[in-house]
């Protein structure tokens, strides 16, 4: 990958929240706390899913992978942001920026598709319970996960070089707290509409198409739940899917608002806080959502901790 306009030598300046110096220390404390909780919560989910044989099912296989992605998502940029918030220097090397952008695009794409796979898993559990183990066999689970990772990597392999090699005419100030694609494209001193359109096309495929699959899956699930005669049965089916629905709403709501607006019309400050939300708050909340709403996970936590 090329390193134009002296970027390789000087790297980039991540402006972040430096225009609000009084806010930086508050953000450091809040973000450090949230990041610590995200790492602890997601690491716990992964360990519990590995250590408890009772959780060696497709649902928890995908949940452990979601927690791993959340760890990667936050770790791709939050530590760098914390360093920049703490000290006067807001710099990141060119190589660091490349790694951050590539990781961000890969993990974000994989997570969108993994949430669609998890919706299909819930569809099979609720709508085809007698055939669930046949449908969601281990080989299919691995194939679906491979498709998700392949799609995320393809997005990053295509968009990262195109974004990083745009001429910037010496500009090195990124108006964000991370090397994010829209902020880097805006720094270009040439017409970058072709790159923006390609990025939008990938967003449709990686964000909107999986969302459509999620909505179709939950449409079938809702129809199946309404056919259940007993209130207890309906509640059990709803409870099976409620955690995933909550996670989908949090993640996709912020992603769509951020990336699917024509011309990226949201304000810079709004964009920074939205990015912070889906990059830190959502990964921190996901383990809580799954543990507080899931008796199996809570039971496994007690077993692993030696309380049973």
The dihedral built from the CA positions of residue 109, 112, 116 and 119, taken in this order, carries a sign that is positive
pLDDT at 268 over 70: no
Task: Report the distance separating Cα 263 and Cα 279, nearest Å.
Answer: 22
DSSP three-state, residue 176: coil
The pLDDT of residue 267: 53
Range of the domain at 231: 11-301
Q: How far apart are the first and last CA of the chain?
A: 54
Q: Check which CATH number belongs to the domain holding 231 and give it.
A: 1.20.1070.10
| Strand 12-14 relative to strand 91-92, pairing | antiparallel
In a domain, 46, yes or no: yes
In a domain, 1, yes or no: no
In a domain, 114, yes or no: yes
Question: ∠226-227-229 over CA atoms, to 5°?
Answer: 100
In a domain, 273, yes or no: yes
In a domain, 170, yes or no: yes
For the residues 271-300, what does the mean pLDDT come to?
Answer: 77
At 6, is the pLDDT very low, low, confident or very high (cuts 50, 70, 90)?
Answer: very low
pTM: 0.85
In a domain, 3, yes or no: no
In a domain, 306, yes or no: no
**Nearest alpha carbon to residue 98 among 7, 200, 205, 175:** 7
- Token readout for 57 is 């099912």
Tens-place pLDDT, residues 138-173 = 999 999 999 999 999 999 999 999 999 888 887 888
DSSP three-state, residue 277: helix
pLDDT at 292 over 80: no
pLDDT at 120 over 90: yes
Number of domains in the chain: 1
In a domain, 307, yes or no: no
């Amino acid at each position: 990958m090329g390193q134009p306009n002296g970027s390789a030598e000087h790297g980039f300046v991540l402006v972040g929240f430096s225009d609000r110096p009084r806010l930086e220390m508050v953000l450091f404390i809040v973000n450090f706390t949230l990041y610590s909780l995200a790492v602890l919560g997601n690491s716990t989910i992964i360990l519990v899913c590995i250590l408890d044989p009772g959780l060696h099912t497709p649902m928890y296989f995908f949940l452990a992978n979601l927690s791993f992605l959340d760890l990667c998502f936050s770790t791709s940029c939050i530590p760098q942001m914390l360093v920049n918030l703490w000290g006067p220097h807001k710099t990141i090397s060119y190589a660091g920026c490349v790694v951050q952008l590539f990781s961000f695009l890969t993990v974000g794409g994989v997570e969108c598709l993994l949430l669609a796979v998890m919706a299909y898993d819930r569809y099979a559990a609720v709508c085809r319970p007698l055939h669930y183990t046949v449908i969601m066999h281990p080989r299919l689970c691995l194939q679906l996960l491979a498709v998700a990772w392949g799609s995320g990597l393809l997005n990053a392999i295509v968009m990262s070089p195109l974004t990083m090699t745009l001429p910037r005419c010496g500009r090195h100030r990124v108006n964000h707290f991370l090397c994010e694609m829209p902020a880097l494209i805006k720094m270009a001193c040439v017409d970058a509409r072709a790159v923006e359109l390609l990025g939008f096309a990938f967003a449709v495929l990686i964000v909107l198409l999986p969302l459509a699959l999620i909505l179709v899956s939950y449409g079938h699930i809702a129809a199946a739940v309404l056919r259940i005669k007993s209130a207890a049965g309906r509640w059990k089916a709803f409870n099976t899917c409620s955690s995933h629905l909550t996670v989908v709403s949090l993640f996709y709501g912020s992603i769509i608002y951020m990336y699917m607006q024509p011309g990226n019309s949201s304000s810079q400050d709004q964009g920074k806080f939205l990015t912070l939300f889906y990059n830190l708050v959502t990964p921190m909340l996901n383990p809580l959502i799954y543990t507080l709403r899931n008796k199996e996970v809570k039971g496994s936590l007690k077993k692993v901790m030696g309380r049973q």
